[in-house]
Amino acid sequence: MLPSRVALRAGKFRGMRAFSSSATPGEKKETKSEVQNEYSNPTHASKEQFEKDKIEYRKGGGGVDSQAPTPWQRRFLVWTRIYKKEDEIPRFVPLDTMMRMNDRLRGVVIACLTIGLYSIYRYSHRKTWEKIYRDREEGVVVPKMDELSVKAQAN
């Protein structure tokens, strides 16, 4: 195990604060006002600042991580509610915004396809049963598939 002086010094280099005054000889101790200044200026953003930064970032700026959206992508940006109107969409949109649009659009497409395919299934199922009930009422006898295949091979 390392001696306490060396361990504290190593801890300080890893970003941890040493609480012992013997960590490094000759190190200046922090005063109460310096500690208060450290906590009076938080490193996190307030809600208002976060919203402001988010809007500025979404406006884009033609940086390296931006792209010009196609006309369809502009429509999708509005449909997925990332922008309220097509007029608000900048010439270059950040890639993060385009990826968020793709993720939202993927969810919309999956939901629409699920609803559409289920509707087709229910419609087909209902039509099949209607045909079966109609044939029963008319007295139509439907032969088994094996009998039909034997007759087709015989011809």
pLDDT tens track for 81-91: 999 999 989 88
Poorest-pLDDT segment among 41-45, 49-53, 95-99: 41-45
In a domain, 96, yes or no: yes
d(CA 7, CA 29): 19
Domain that holds residue 81: 68-138
pLDDT band at 108 (very low <50, low <70, confident <90, very high): very high
Query: Is 19 contained in some domain?
Result: no
Higher-pLDDT residue of 134, 140: 134
Q: Is residue 149 within a helix (H) or strand (E), and if so which, with residue range?
A: helix 145-154
Report pLDDT digits (tens) over 1-25. 444 454 444 444 455 454 454 555 5
- Give backbone dihedrals phi and psi of 81, rounded to 5 degrees, phi first: 65, 30
Residue 129 pLDDT > 90 = yes
In-domain check, residue 119: yes
Query: Taking the complete model, does pTM exceed 0.75, yes or no?
Result: no
Is 81 a member of any domain? yes
Tell me if 75 is assigned to some domain. yes
State residue 151's pLDDT score: 67
2/155 Cα distance (integer angstroms): 95
Q: Is residue 143, in this structure, part of any structural domain at all?
A: no
Long-range contacts of 83-87 (CB under 8 A, 24+ apart): 83/58
Split into its structural domains, the chain has a count of 1
Helices (H), 44-139: 47-59, 71-79, 95-138
Q: Is residue 85 situated within a structural domain? A: yes
Per-residue pLDDT at 142 exceeds 80? no
The 10 Å Cβ neighbour count of residue 9 is: 15
48 inside domain: no
Q: Which two tokens stand for residue 17?
A: 């604060």
